[in-house]
Amino acid sequence: MTTDPLAEYCGKILNGGFSTKLCRRLTTYLTTLVALDKMCSPIIPYIAAWRGDGKIIWYEYVGTRFLTLLNCQRSEVAEVFRQSIVDRRLYRYVEQEFKIEEDIVTREELRGHQCGLREEVKKEGVVECIYQLALPGEKTIWLKDQAMIEIFAGDEICLSIGCLTEVTKEMKQKNLLEKFGYFDELTKLPKRSIMQRIIEMNIGNLHRGYISDFVFLLLDIDHFKAVNDTYGHQAGDHVLVSLAEVMCSTKRQEDEVGRYGGDEFYAFSIGCLKNGLQFAERLRLAVEATDFIYNQQRIPVTISIGLVAASQLAEVGKITVEELVRVADRRLYVAKKGGRDRVVGEDPR
């Protein structure tokens, strides 16, 4: 086995006419990380690089275990890794609220905002996130990425020197706990407890420019108490389950639906108010067209919907979880008072 740290080098910098300072620093890092890799450490060392204003990232070095996981050659790592990403997750501890915020950026969002993300890590000087990867054979793994950023202004090169640690078991357990804790047992939809996280994620994506707008919907079943009183609580449960199925079959892949509580449900739609109104109307018409049958009895079911687009609040600077819920709830009340079986997306004039 060779002990030369440059024997398997396939990067660009050492053979690219860059400054002596950069090449010496890189060689020092290579020597250290190659030695670490040969110790069979559970961490996967790497050195990534990119030009200051460039969109393309490449690897100056990756540990052998990374090649095994991705089943590729060193020269293919950057592209294979990029294609394998499902999402990138950041975790922040909010000290005032004693909670951890999870920020999820999908592969599509990453592709559109590489430059912004790299400027962010340059400013912070560090990288700390978790990548979810989809590998061949329907295998999913999670890798924790921790690195420091070093900038060589004269060469217009940025280096990310760090390590990857597999945290698949931990993330699977986290997801399992969330599944039990966040999903409603009756309808199998996400509970109200996950709604706030989805709103916060959308607000974060909106502020960073990953999305241009999103819509939050609150809806409930018209005269649901009469359903329980007339047909019984089991019939009422059947209606709730059937409504959840209608909502899931009506939404697009990028939409989200969940149970707010009782006979109230919530939904999200990425896009402008017009898109949200169209989604809400599709939901309303789908429910209206569905036969809710219990014990061979047809139960008439309609829904009322109140919704708000984040852009409607942006003008007054009130894009918060509380304000979105408050406005959507107010408009749901207007829909109820206006005769039910309708959608309201604006305040009455």
Helix-strand-coil split of the chain, %, nearest 5: 45, 30, 25
- Write out pLDDT tens, residues 44-98: 999 999 997 767 889 999 999 999 999 999 889 999 999 999 999 988 766 555 5
- Write out pLDDT tens, residues 184-216: 889 989 888 888 888 888 888 888 888 889 999
pLDDT value of position 330 = 96
pLDDT value of position 1 = 46
Provide the sign of the torsion angle of the four alpha carbons 46, 129, 144, 139, taken in this order: negative
Please, what is the angle between helix 192-207 and helix 168-182, to 10°?
Answer: 120
Query: Is the pLDDT assigned to residue 302 strictly greater than 80?
Result: yes
- Write out pLDDT tens, residues 117-159: 777 888 888 999 999 999 988 899 999 999 999 999 999 999 9
pLDDT value of position 192 = 86
Cβ–Cβ under 8 Å, residues 55 and 115:
yes
- Cα gap 257→247, rounded to integer Å: 7
pLDDT value of position 6 = 74
Average pLDDT over residues 254-266: 92
pLDDT value of position 3 = 58
Task: Work out the burial of residue 37: count CB atoms within 10 Å of its CB; fewer than 13 is exposed, 13-18 middle, 19 or more buried.
Answer: buried
More confident residue, 109 or 77: 77
Average pLDDT over residues 259-266: 94
- Predicted TM-score of the model (pTM): 0.55
Number of neighbouring beta carbons within 10 Å of residue 311: 15
- Write out pLDDT tens, residues 2-58: 557 677 788 999 999 999 999 999 999 999 999 999 887 789 999 999 997 767 889
Average pLDDT over residues 282-290: 95
Query: Is the pLDDT assigned to residue 295 strictly greater than 70?
Result: yes
Cβ–Cβ under 8 Å, residues 59 and 110:
no
Of 78, 90, 87, 165, the C-alpha closest to 124 is: 90
Query: Is the pLDDT assigned to residue 315 strictly greater than 70?
Result: no
Query: Is the pLDDT assigned to residue 99 strictly greater than 90?
Result: no
- Write out pLDDT tens, residues 265-280: 999 999 999 999 999 9
Give the distance from CA 108 to its chain's centroid: 10
